[in-house]
């Protein structure tokens, strides 16, 4: 048995049956990381010793029949999520050397669920980007083609899971940063409803849009990680105090009578023809499985991108004001206090500075109503589009991204071209819906294509089950990138 | 909307960012392009449309006013660039001749 080929759910069952040990699974991951991650560059920090200690402790508990949900399962965490005693950089030089004194709520939940944490994965700085090229450290490569990006901003987590360097992962999704890399790397990625998961201890980018999401090679794997971290946290006042369903039990594979909406605005000029074909086939497959396909309209779709690129930078400019070199992080000393703050903040990467500038302008006196205020109103219209659609359908099906993985360097000089990457995902964040990406084919270059399924607020179980039904009826998820000795 | 170099310098000052001349020039062009793109929002009639400022609206969330243990001082100061006597060291903020 090649342990690294097991899915998370398969590994969990094998651990409980005593067929493999957590130490063996953890060591298998660490060995593969040594073999392939010099090239892939998905990990920013490897916590190998800690992981092996956690695995040993898990094995002792497993031997006693302990069935804590993720006991002994090796997973990885995006480096924008705080981990006690383990560096957390948000992919930026402005947090170089920062070691959080506490675990984010989601990391506490992972540990409580018994997971083994292998390390921290690469990200675009402050989750601002769609390729990991905005990481201050290095660019992660796509496991399917090393000349291409893995997507972003959670590209390190997606690449690690796709390459068999972790069984599951946490990312964050502010405008598509879990779903787009999941699509590019050929795995499943979920962005839950805003408030379903605590943001406490997650480095803030845009506070009304940020949400932790999960990755797995399969829908069931993604669901298992999601199940472990969902739930109310009194430390996050936007965390929803609502019951957490048994998402894993909701994966029945039965979607008879499910109403699936197909929005005409998502099949537009500029979308890659192979992506469109694969997604339309996937929708036909859902119909074959008993779903009812309904043509719908989300009329304000074309305004989502400008709305997002006013609201997200505005929120970011306020959130990132805290990086002043006074209490944590590096400090560059200048002629006086303000000069020191300005020089320290020059450590932000180019995209972060661009968004701080944009957000500061959009919020500044005289322009607030014209830009930010207007964007908030259009956000209402976007949200209403989705609420209207969800009166007619249960799920909305679209492509996750207009293209498959692009080449490293292809979009770096044109911020607007890079922003277009998020065109199909960011409405989910603006409208407070939930969404996921599930593999639905490959293009002629052998690059994965993702199907996005969107659900109404708190309807994660519905979209996860639809994706699960689709996955059961197809075998895209069984295809693995050839990397290392696998 | 086209920005001027003076606009860029003013925004950078407000945002407390030191930019190189090359960065100023680059942001001048890129921000102008992005703002121009954002102007398509002007096509919409927004009279009577309320703003959405929160993803999911919630009322004020209160917690009991009970003191809880804080993290140890050493842990909290661990990341400080400069510290002394359990405090963060910074440059003088008020000048000597100030009336404050």
Helix (H) or strand (E) holding A261: strand A259-263
Quick check: is B30 in a domain? yes
* pLDDT tens-place string over residues A201-252: 999 999 999 999 999 999 999 999 999 999 999 999 999 999 999 999 999 9
In a domain, B9, yes or no: yes
Nearest Cβ partner for A309 among B34, B49, B76: B34
Place of tokens 């992962």: A169
B41 closest CB neighbour out of A209, A306, A317 = A306
Residue B96 confidence (pLDDT): 63
Which residue among A4, A131, A153, A157 is the active-site one? Answer: A153
B chain contacts of residue A456, beta-carbon cutoff 8 Å:
none
Task: Please tell me the distance in Å from A246's CA to the nearest CA on chain B.
Answer: 22
Residue A1 confidence class, pLDDT cut points 50, 70, 90: confident
pLDDT at A264: 95
E-assigned strands of A29-129?
A: 43-46, 74-78, 116-121
* A78 CB-near residues (< 8 Å, 6+ apart): A120, A121, A123, A154, A156, A157, A169, A170, A171, A172
CB pairs A-B closer than 8 Å: 156
Pick B52's closest partner by Cβ from A324, A353, A379.
A379
- Looking at residue A245, its pLDDT comes to 98
To the nearest whole Å, the CA of B47 is away from the closest chain A CA by 9
Note whether A376 contacts B90, CB cutoff 8 Å.
no
Tell me how crowded residue A407 is: count the other CB atoms within 10 A of its CB: 12
What percent of chain A has pLDDT above 90?
94
Query: Is A153 assigned a catalytic role?
Result: yes
Q: How confident is the model over A342-360, as pLDDT tens digits?
A: 999 999 999 999 999 999 9
Q: How far is B84 from chain A (nearest CA, A)?
A: 12
Which of A357, A359, A430, A435 best tests the B interface by mutation, with the highest count of B CBs <10 A?
A357
A431 is catalytic: no
- The SS3 call for residue A40 is helix
Instruction: Tell me which residue range forms the domain holding B34.
Output: 5-42
Q: Domain containing B30 — which CATH number?
A: 1.10.20
Look at B41 and A195 and tell me if their CB atoms are within 8 Å.
Answer: no
Question: Is residue B74 domain-resident?
Answer: no
The ipTM is 0.93
Active-site residue flag, A92: no
B34 domain-assigned: yes
pLDDT at A419 over 50: yes
In a domain, B58, yes or no: no
Residue range A172-199: mean pLDDT, rounded? 98
- CB contact under 8 Å between A346 and B34, yes or no, is no
Contact between residue A132 and residue A123 where contact means Cβ atoms under 8 Å apart: yes
Instruction: Dig out the tokens for B99 from the structure.
Output: 């009336």
Please identify which residue in the block is written with the tokens 């170089």: A96
Q: In which band, very low, low, confident or very high, does the pLDDT at A287 lie, cut at 50, 70 and 90? A: very high
**Identity of the residue in B38, B51, B88 whose CB atom sits nearest the CB atom of A380:** B51
**Cβ-Cβ contacts under 8 Å, A309 against chain B:** 34, 37-38
* B69: in domain: no
Verify whether the Cβ–Cβ distance A336 to B91 is below 8 Å.
yes
Interface touch A357/B17, C-beta < 8 Å: yes
Task: Tell me which chain A residues have a C-beta less than 8 angstroms from the C-beta of B19.
Answer: 346, 353
Contact A457 B38 (CB under 8 A): no
pLDDT band at A485 (very low <50, low <70, confident <90, very high): low
Is B70 a domain residue?
Answer: no
Closest approach of A208 to chain B, Cα-based (Å): 6
Between chains, do B88 and A348 touch, taking CB under 8 Å as contact?
Answer: no
For B75, which residue in chain A has the nearest alpha carbon? A101
What confidence tens digit (pLDDT) does each residue in A305-345 have?
Answer: 999 999 999 999 999 999 999 999 999 999 999 999 999 99
Tell me how many domains chain B contains.
Answer: 1
- Give B43-61 pLDDT, tens digit per residue: 999 999 999 988 887 778 8
Q: How confident is the model at residue B100 (pLDDT cuts 50, 70, 90)?
A: very low
Query: Residue B41 and residue A307: Cβ atoms within 8 Å?
Result: yes
Classify residue B62: in a domain, yes or no: no
**Which chain B residues contact residue A374 at CB under 8 A?**
41-42, 46
Residue listed under structure tokens 């499985």? A289
* Active-site residue, selected from the candidate residues A21, A78, A92, A154: A78
Q: Kindly report the nearest CA distance between residue A264 and chain B, in angstroms.
A: 20
Distance CA A38, CA A24 (A): 22
pLDDT of res. A473: 98
| Interchain pair B53, A374: CB under 8 A | no
DSSP assignment, residue A457? T
Yes or no: say if A120 and A77 are a contact pair by the CB < 8 Å rule: yes
pLDDT tens per residue, range B11-49: 999 999 999 999 999 999 999 999 999 999 999 999 999
The per-residue pLDDT of chain A, averaged, comes to 96
Please name the helix (run of DSSP H) or strand (run of DSSP E) that holds residue B84, with its range, or none.
strand B83-84
Q: Is pLDDT at A409 greater than 90 in this prediction?
A: yes
Residue A188 confidence (pLDDT) above 60:
yes
Could B16 and A375 be called an inter-chain contact, meaning their C-beta atoms sit closer than 8 Å?
A: no
Of A302, A353, A371, the CB nearest to B38: A371
Which entry of A177, A183, A198, A239 is annotated as an active-site residue?
A: A177
Distance to chain B for A333, nearest Cα, Å: 9
Tens-digit pLDDT profile for residues A253-269: 999 999 999 999 999 87
Contacts 24+ apart (CB under 8 A), A406-415: A406/A131, A406/A148, A406/A149, A407/A147, A407/A148, A407/A149, A408/A131, A408/A133, A408/A139, A408/A141, A408/A147, A408/A148, A408/A149, A409/A133, A411/A130, A411/A131, A412/A131, A412/A133, A415/A351, A415/A354, A415/B30, A415/B33, A415/B34
pLDDT of B99 over the 60 cut? no
Query: Chain B: nearest CA to A171, how far in angstroms?
Result: 19
Instruction: For residue A472, count CB atoms less than 10 angstroms from its CB and return exposed for 0-12, middle for 13-18, buried for 19 or more.
Output: middle
Domains, chain A, ordered by start = 3-260+391-478 (3.90.1300.10)
Are A331 and B82 inside 8 Å of each other by CB?
yes
Write down the pTM of the prediction: 0.97
Of B18, B35, B50, the CB nearest to A342: B18
- 8 Å CB contact of B14 and A360: yes
- A371-386: b or e for each residue (b if 16 or more CB lie within 10 Å)? bbbbbbbbbbbbbbbb
Residues of A in Cβ contact (< 8 Å) with B11? 357, 360-361, 364
- Check residue A44 and give its pLDDT: 98
């Amino acid at each position: 048995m090649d342990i690294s080929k097991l899915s998370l759910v398969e590994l969990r069952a094998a651990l409980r049956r005593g067929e493999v040990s957590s130490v063996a699974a953890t060591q298998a991951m660490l060995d593969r990381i040594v073999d392939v991650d010099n090239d892939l560059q998905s990990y920013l920090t490897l916590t190998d010793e800690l992981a092996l200690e956690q695995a040993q402790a898990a094995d002792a508990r497993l031997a006693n029949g302990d069935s804590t949900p993720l006991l002994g399962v090796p997973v990885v965490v995006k480096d924008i999520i705080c981990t006690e005693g383990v560096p957390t950089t948000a992919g930026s030089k402005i947090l170089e050397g920062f070691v959080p004194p506490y675990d984010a709520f989601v990391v506490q939940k992972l540990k409580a669920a018994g997971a083994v944490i292998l390390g921290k994965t690469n990200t675009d700085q402050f989750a601002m980007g769609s390729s990991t090229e905005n990481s201050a450290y290095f660019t992660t490569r796509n496991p399917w083609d090393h000349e291409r990006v893995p997507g972003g901003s959670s590209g390190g987590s997606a690449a690690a899971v796709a390459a068999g360097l972790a069984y599951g992962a946490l990312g964050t999704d502010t405008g598509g940063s879990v779903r787009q890399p999941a699509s590019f790397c050929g795995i499943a990625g979920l962005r839950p409803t805003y408030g379903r998961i605590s943001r406490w201890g997650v480095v803030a980018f845009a506070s009304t849009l940020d949400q932790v999401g999960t990755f797995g090679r399969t829908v069931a794997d993604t669901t298992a990680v999601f199940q472990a971290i969902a739930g109310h946290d009194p430390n996050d006042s936007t965390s929803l105090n609502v019951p957490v369903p048994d998402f894993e039990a909701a994966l029945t594979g039965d979607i008879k009578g499910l109403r699936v909406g197909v929005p005409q605005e998502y099949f537009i000029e500029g979308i890659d023809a192979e992506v469109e074909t694969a997604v339309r086939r996937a929708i036909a497959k859902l119909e074959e499985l008993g779903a009812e396909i309904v043509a719908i309209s989300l009329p304000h779709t074309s305004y989502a991108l400008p709305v997002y690129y006013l609201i997200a930078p505005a929120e970011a400019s306020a959130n990132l004001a805290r990086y002043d070199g006074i209490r944590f992080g590096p400090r560059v000393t200048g002629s006086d206090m303000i000069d020191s703050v300005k020089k320290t903040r020059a450590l932000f990467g180019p995209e972060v500075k661009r968004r701080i500038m944009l957000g500061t302008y959009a919020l500044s006196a005289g322009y607030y109503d014209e830009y930010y205020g207007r964007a908030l109103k259009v956000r209402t219209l976007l949200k209403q589009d989705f609420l209207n659609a969800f009166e007619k359908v249960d799920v909305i099906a679209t492509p996750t991204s207009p293209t498959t993985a692009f080449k490293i360097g292809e979009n770096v000089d044109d911020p607007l071209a890079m922003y277009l990457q998020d065109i199909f995902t960011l409405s989910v964040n603006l409208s407070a819906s939930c969404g996921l990406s599930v593999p639905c084919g490959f293009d002629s270059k052998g690059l994965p294509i993702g199907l996005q399924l969107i659900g109404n607020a708190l309807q994660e179980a519905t979209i996860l089950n639809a994706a699960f039904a689709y996955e059961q009826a197809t075998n895209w998820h069984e295809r693995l990138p050839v990397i290392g000795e696998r | 909307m086209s920005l001027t170099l003076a606009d860029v310098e003013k925004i950078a000052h407000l945002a407390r960012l030191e930019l190189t001349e090359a960065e100023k020039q680059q942001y001048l062009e890129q921000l102008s392009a992005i703002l121009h793109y954002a102007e398509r929002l002007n096509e919409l009639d927004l009279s009577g449309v309320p703003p959405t400022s929160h993803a999911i609206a919630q009322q004020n969330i209160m917690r009991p006013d009970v003191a809880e243990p804080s993290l140890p001082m050493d842990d909290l100061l661990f990341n400080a660039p400069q510290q002394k006597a359990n405090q963060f060291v910074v440059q003088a903020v008020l000048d000597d001749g100030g009336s404050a």
